[in-house]
C-alpha cells in the first residue's frame, strides 16, 4: 500500500478552524503521565498550524473509558457479564456500584492532564469540558488565529468507536479542515480518525506523513538487500506480516517465540516452547513460499532454553534440533546471535518486528540486543514496527540509531501486512 497524501503544508490554514486528531493516549500511573513522548511527537504539527494562523482544535482518545458524556452511561460487556453471574438479589447494588465507578472516568481519563503537559511544553492550549457539547462549541467558535483548544476524550461518547455519522458530522462542524496525525489509531475507522473526513477537507500531519513515507518506501521501493527480521510471541499474530514481507524482501530472519512453530514444522522437538500446533501448516506454507521466491530464509541454529517461563529460571544454550522435553526456548542462542548479525551486514533496508526472545528479562535479552546492535551498525535504512519491539529497542538504548521507530503498534503491523488503514485512506491524495 503506497500513500501519497496531502499534508498540512499543501493547504491554506490561515484563519481556519482546524480539527487535529492526535494520539494523546499516553501511559499513566497513579494519575501521572509516565512518558510524554506522544505529546512531544505531536508538537511539530501543532506548532506549524499555530504559526501559520490556524485556529487549532485538538482531539484524542485516552484509555478505554465509559461513555460518560452520553445521556446514559452503559457498562461494557465484561462488566455486564460479571453482574449477571451474581445472585439476583446482589445484582442491583453491583450495577449501581459499577456505574458509579464508571462515572469516575470523567476525571480519571480526562485529557486535562494532557492539556497541562502541553502548557508545560510551551503550547498555551485551553481545555474544553466536552467533545461536541456547548463548552467545546463555544470555545471553538471563540478561537483566534494561532490559538489552541483541546477537546475532551473522544471516547467519552460511545459514538466515537461506532463511527456514528451523526457524531462525526457534529465533531466536524467545529472546524473547516481536518488533520489526522494519530498513526496509532489509523487502522481504526472511528469518528475522529476517519468519519470526520466525510465532512471536511482532510490531510495528514507530520507524524503520519513520516510514517507513510518511510514505511511506504521500504515496502514499495526498498534499498536492497532488503532484510526482514521477524520475531515476537506468536506466528498467529504475524502470518499477514510474514506473507506480505516474503513477497518483498531478499532475506527473512525468524526469531522469538514464533521460531518454535517453524521448528515443529521441520520435525524438531520443541519441548515446552511456545508452539502453535494449528499454525504448523501455515509455517510450512510460508517456508515453501520463501523457497519459491528465492528468499534467503534464516532461522535460529541454537537457543537459550529455560526450565519454565520465569525470569529467574535456570537456563542453558542448546542447538535447535536438540531441545529436550521439559525445556522451553526463551531466546536465540550465541551462535545464532552471530549468524543473524552477519546476515545483517550490508543490508540496504531492514524492517524489524518482534523481539528475538523474552527481552523483558535480562537473562533472555541478549538475542534482541545483538540484533539491535547489528541493525544499528549495518548502516541500513532501519524501520522498527510493533509496540514491544519499539519498547525493547528503546530500553536497550538503540532508539537513536534507527531510521524510524513506528509510533503505532497495531497500525504499523497492519501497514507491514499491506492492509489499507482507514485513517489514512480517507485523506486527500496529492
Catalytic residues: 38, 234, 387, 410
- Of 27-35, 350-358, 369-377, 398-406, which segment contacts ligand ADP by CB under 6 A? 350-358
User: In the set 386, 408, 422, 423, which binds ligand ADP (CB under 6 A)?
Assistant: 386
If the CB atoms of residues 55 and 188 are measured against Mg ion, the closer one turns out to be 188
Residues with Cβ within 8 Å of 127's Cβ and at least 6 positions away in sequence, in order, are 111, 112, 115, 149, 150, 152
Across the beta sheet with 148-150, what order do the strands follow? 126-127, 148-150, 55-59, 17-21, 177-180, 202-204
If the CB atoms of residues 222 and 329 are measured against ligand ADP, the closer one turns out to be 329
Compute the least distance from the CB of residue 295 to Mg ion, in Å: 24
Count of residues interacting with ligand ADP (CB under 6 A): 19
Q: Are 67 and 156 in contact (CB under 8 A)?
A: yes
If the CB atoms of residues 222 and 386 are measured against ligand ADP, the closer one turns out to be 386
Residue 181 interacts, among ligand ADP, Mg ion, none and using kind-specific CB cut-offs from 5 to 8 Å, with none
User: In the set 330, 339, 376, 396, which binds ligand ADP (CB under 6 A)?
Assistant: 330
Does 387 sit near Mg ion (CB under 5 A)?
Answer: yes
- Of 190-198, 251-259, 273-281, 382-390, which segment contacts Mg ion by CB under 5 A? 382-390
Angle at 65 between CA 121 and CA 419, to 5 degrees: 80
Residues with Cβ within 8 Å of 93's Cβ and at least 6 positions away in sequence, in order, are none
- Of 25-33, 192-200, 279-287, 352-360, which segment contacts ligand ADP by CB under 6 A? 352-360
If the CB atoms of residues 127 and 283 are measured against ligand ADP, the closer one turns out to be 283
If the CB atoms of residues 38 and 157 are measured against ligand ADP, the closer one turns out to be 38
The distance of Cα 415 from the centroid of its chain, to the nearest Å, equals 10
Q: Is the dihedral of CA 5, 7, 12, 17 positive or negative?
A: positive
Does 211 sit near Mg ion (CB under 5 A)?
Answer: no
CB-side neighbour CA atoms (13 Å) of 147: 11
The distance of Cα 348 from the centroid of its chain, to the nearest Å, equals 25
Q: Are 5 and 204 in contact (CB under 8 A)?
A: yes
Across the beta sheet with 226-230, what order do the strands follow? 296-298, 251-254, 226-230, 349-353, 381-384, 404-405
CB neighbour class for 267 (10 Å; exposed up to 12, middle 13-18, buried from 19): exposed
Does 406 sit near ligand ADP (CB under 6 A)?
Answer: no
If the CB atoms of residues 150 and 328 are measured against ligand ADP, the closer one turns out to be 328
Residues with Cβ within 8 Å of 331's Cβ and at least 6 positions away in sequence, in order, are 303, 304, 356, 357, 358, 359, 363, 364, 365, 366, 367, 368
CB neighbour class for 300 (10 Å; exposed up to 12, middle 13-18, buried from 19): buried
User: In the set 290, 388, 390, 421, which binds Mg ion (CB under 5 A)?
Assistant: 388
- Of 154-162, 179-187, 348-356, 397-405, which segment contacts ligand ADP by CB under 6 A? 348-356
Does 271 sit near ligand ADP (CB under 6 A)?
Answer: no
- Of 89-97, 125-133, 184-192, 381-389, which segment contacts ligand ADP by CB under 6 A? 381-389
CB neighbour class for 124 (10 Å; exposed up to 12, middle 13-18, buried from 19): exposed
The distance of Cα 149 from the centroid of its chain, to the nearest Å, equals 26
Bridge partners of 331?
304
Question: Whole-angstrom Cα distance, residue 205 to residue 212?
Answer: 11
Does 184 sit near ligand ADP (CB under 6 A)?
Answer: no
Does 233 sit near ligand ADP (CB under 6 A)?
Answer: yes
Does 181 sit near Mg ion (CB under 5 A)?
Answer: no
If the CB atoms of residues 152 and 388 are measured against ligand ADP, the closer one turns out to be 388
User: In the set 195, 205, 256, 271, which binds ligand ADP (CB under 6 A)?
Assistant: 256
Residue 367 interacts, among Mg ion, ligand ADP, none and using kind-specific CB cut-offs from 5 to 8 Å, with none
Within 355-374, the residues that bind ligand ADP by CB under 6 A are 355, 357-358, 360
Compute the least distance from the CB of residue 336 to ligand ADP, in Å: 12
If the CB atoms of residues 205 and 367 are measured against ligand ADP, the closer one turns out to be 367
CB neighbour class for 65 (10 Å; exposed up to 12, middle 13-18, buried from 19): buried
User: Which residues of this protein are in contact with ligand ADP, per CB under 6 A?
Assistant: 232-233, 237, 256-257, 274, 329-330, 353-355, 357-358, 360, 386-389, 409
User: Which residues of this protein are in contact with Mg ion, per CB under 5 A?
Assistant: 387-388
Amino acid at each position: 500500500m503506497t500513500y501519497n497524501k496531502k499534508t498540512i503544508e499543501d493547504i491554506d490554514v490561515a484563519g481556519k478552524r482546524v480539527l487535529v486528531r492526535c494520539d494523546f493516549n499516553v501511559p499513566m500511573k497513579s494519575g501521572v503521565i509516565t512518558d510524554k513522548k506522544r505529546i512531544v511527537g505531536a508538537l511539530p504539527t501543532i506548532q506549524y498550524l499555530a504559526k501559520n494562523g490556524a485556529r487549532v482544535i485538538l482531539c484524542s482518545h485516552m484509555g478505554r473509558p465509559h461513555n460518560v458524556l452520553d445521556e446514559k452511561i452503559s457498562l461494557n460487556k465484561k462488566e455486564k457479564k460479571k453482574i449477571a453471574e451474581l445472585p439476583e438479589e446482589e445484582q442491583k447494588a453491583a450495577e449501581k456500584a459499577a456505574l458509579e465507578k464508571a462515572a469516575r472516568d470523567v476525571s480519571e481519563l480526562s485529557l486535562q492532564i494532557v492539556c497541562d503537559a502541553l502548557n508545560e511544553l510551551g503550547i498555551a492550549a485551553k481545555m474544553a469540558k466536552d467533545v461536541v457539547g456547548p463548552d467545546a462549541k463555544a470555545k471553538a467558535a471563540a478561537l483566534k488565529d494561532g490559538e489552541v483548544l483541546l477537546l475532551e476524550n473522544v471516547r467519552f461518547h460511545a459514538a466515537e468507536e461506532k463511527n456514528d455519522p451523526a457524531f462525526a458530522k457534529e465533531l466536524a462542524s467545529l472546524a473547516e479542515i481536518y488533520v489526522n496525525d494519530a498513526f496509532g489509531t489509523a487502522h481504526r475507522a472511528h469518528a475522529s480518525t476517519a468519519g470526520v473526513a466525510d465532512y471536511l477537507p482532510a490531510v495528514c500531519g507530520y507524524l503520519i506523513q513520516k510514517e507513510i513515507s518511510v514505511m511506504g518506501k521500504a515496502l514499495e521501493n526498498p534499498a536492497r538487500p532488503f532484510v526482514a527480521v521477524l520475531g515476537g510471541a506468536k506466528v498467529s499474530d504475524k502470518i499477514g506480516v510474514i506473507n506480505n514481507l516474503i513477497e518483498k524482501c531478499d532475506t527473512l530472519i525468524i526469531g522469538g517465540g514464533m521460531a518454535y512453530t517453524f521448528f515443529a514444522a521441520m520435525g524438531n522437538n520443541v519441548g515446552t516452547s511456545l508452539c502453535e500446533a494449528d499454525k504448523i501448516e501455515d509455517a510450512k506454507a510460508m517456508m515453501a513460499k520463501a523457497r519459491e521466491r528465492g528468499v534467503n530464509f534464516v532461522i535460529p541454529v541454537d537457543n537459550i532454553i529455560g526450565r519454565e517461563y520465569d525470569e529467574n529460571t535456570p537456563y542453558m544454550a542448546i542447538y535447535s534440533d536438540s531441545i529436550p522435553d521439559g525445556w522451553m526456548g526463551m531466546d536465540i542462542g550465541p551462535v545464532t546471535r552471530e549468524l543473524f548479525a552477519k546476515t545483517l551486514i550490508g543490508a540496504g533496508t531492514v524492517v524489524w518486528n518482534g523481539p528475538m526472545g523474552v527481552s523483558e528479562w535480562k537473562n533472555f535479552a541478549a538475542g534482541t540486543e545483538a540484533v539491535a546492535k547489528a541493525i544499528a551498525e549495518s548502516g541500513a535504512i532501519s524501520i522498527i514496527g510493533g509496540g514491544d519491539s519499539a519498547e525493547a529497542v528503546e530500553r536497550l538504548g538503540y532508539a537513536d540509531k534507527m531510521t524510524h521507530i513506528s509510533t503505532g503498534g497495531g497500525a504499523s503491523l497492519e501497514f507491514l501486512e499491506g492492509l489499507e488503514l482507514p485513517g489514512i485512506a480517507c485523506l486527500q491524495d496529492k
